[in-house]
Homo-oligomer: A and B are copies of this chain.
Amino acid sequence: MSEVADRKRHSHLRLKRLGIDTYREHVIYMSRDCHVCRSEGFEVRSRVAVSLAGKSIVATLNVIDGGLLSNEEASLSKAAWNHLGASEGETVAVTHAPPLASDSFLRKKVYGGELAKEELAAIVAEIAGGRYDDIELAAFITSCAGDRLSLRETVDLTSAMIDTGEKLSWDAPAVADKHCIGGLPGNRTSMIVVPIVAAAGVIIPKTSSRAITSPAGTADVMETVSNVDLDIARMRRVVEQEGGCIAWGGSARLSPADDILIGVERPLDFDSEGQLVASVLSKKIAAGSTHVVLDLPVGTTAKLRSAEAAAALAARLVHVANAFGLKTAIVQTDGTQPVGRGIGPALEAHDVLAVLQGHAGAPQDLKTRAVALAARLLELVEAVPTGSGASAAEQLLASGAAWQKFQNICEAQGGMRIPGSAGYRLDIKSPRAGKVAAIHNRKLAKVAKLAGAPGAPLAGVVFHAPLGGLIERDQPLFTIHAETEGELAYAHDFVRTHEDIVQLGETT
């Protein structure tokens, strides 16, 4: 026993703040010669358990040579520091992390096996608990990519994701929601659908993601206009007051394992169909939604490249939704070109505001899509009779009721602001005259990302060349917006070597 006490005492180190931000990864920094490294036999990249005042995390060890830390000190990456709520000078206990309990299940999936419900639950619980490091997360995501998750596994993954997070419930017969399966730049309909539906008196507690592989997620766009970091209590208050909200799903800790997976999917720039379904539906179900409209844009350069691919994904979504009693309506939409004009957080917000405010110059395609989705949702929850959704939604938008509701929601979330515009701009001009024949959505999105979106909220692309449009020589096809000179040049470099972003055909 005294041996145990002795080990415990020896495992303590005093925290020194070095201010190292690793993004989300939990890293602990310790001197190579410190007594804990020596007594515990830790090496670079050991996974260790770090405890402080009853909280505990698992972190990856980086070792310090030289005098940056003394042998009695340790430091933590910003994410680890914040997660533990640490203060400089406090003492942490550092011990060997127990091996992953779900290790053999991860391996089974990597080798192509089908996981039982309890096996998926074990993986998701350890992911939500911060036990997986980035390469383990990358392995799990990759092992599920393509169609390697069965329908049954997708249901069980969804269930496990819901069970590890917060859950909301509402005192209403129907709770509405909508979701777009990304891949189409500028398709920012949620910020218009939510105020229309809420203005119709229907509860719509919308949580959105930040961008995963795109230049902007709805949470990124909404954040340029209002606060989206609502914890679950505040989200409940906003919805009780206004009938709807547009919040970032991560703050609410609905399906927290999903937020962690998304953190690795973003730099990897891919996700898996089964995880996409689990991600989308776990958030809806945890938010207490009962009816959801799903927008599936189809186009050769969108995420869904064919009607068949969309139908397969739709079948999976409906199957999993049904398993949880969630009613769904699938809407396949045109995914051949960007929606609206802006691509990037602030630029998309300007489009949304123009539609809500009824500006003459507002992008009509964005308006038309939003009205159609709102109409479908109003009919799905039976707020209006079948066939009258479109006129109801149109009227709520035209009357200014949706705009007023949007402003009220923003106020309830913490106040409304109008985003500015970027300091660096560059027109990409057409090398010749022609008629726009095709647009490469993914490459256009990549230009916006290289220009800094979504991290730089004012960055992105303004698109001027819709399909079928007639273009003169030297007329701008699109304009790159950046917050820095370096990013403008970086995006421009990419455009110079990718001439197929906008393809022109004959003018006749």
Known contacts: A64-B21, A270-B107. The answer to whether A112 contacts B146 by CB under 8 A is yes
> Closest Cβ of chain B: how far from A54's Cβ, in Å?
22
A190 to chain B, nearest CB (A): 25
Please determine whether A486 and B41 come into contact, CB atoms closer than 8 angstroms. Answer: yes
Indicate if A78 sits at the interface (CB-CB under 8 A).
yes
Chain B residues near A111: list those with CB within 8 A: 145-146, 270
Is A308 an interface position by the 8 A CB rule? no
> SS class of chain A's interface: helix, strand, loop or mixed?
mixed
B40 touches A486 (CB 8 A): yes
Q: Is the C-beta of A26 less than 8 angstroms from some C-beta in chain B?
A: no
Q: Interface code A6-23, partner B: CB below 8 Å = 1, 0 otherwise?
A: 010001000001111111
Does A32 count as interface, using CB distance less than 8 angstroms?
yes
Task: List the one stretch of A130-138, A315-323, A406-414 in contact with chain B.
Answer: A130-138
Question: Chain A contact residues (Cβ within 8 angstroms of B): what range?
Answer: 35 or more
CB distance from A23 to the nearest CB of B (A): 4
> Is B20 a contact of A110 with CB atoms below 8 Å?
no
Q: Smallest Cβ distance from A91 to chain B, in angstroms?
A: 18
Q: Which of A147-189 contact B (CB under 8 A)?
A: 147-148
- In the complex, chain B residues whose CB is within 8 Å of the CB of A484: 38-41
Cα A66 to Cα B81 with chains together (Å):
14
B residues in contact with A455, CB < 8 Å:
41, 43
What 3 pairs between A and B have smallest CB-CB spacing? Answer: A40-B486, A19-B66, A142-B142
What are 25 of the A-B contact pairs (CB < 8 Å)? A3-B485, A18-B64, A18-B68, A19-B64, A19-B68, A20-B29, A21-B44, A21-B62, A22-B44, A23-B44, A23-B45, A39-B485, A39-B486, A41-B482, A41-B483, A41-B486, A43-B455, A99-B446, A107-B270, A110-B142, A133-B267, A135-B267, A138-B139, A139-B142, A142-B143
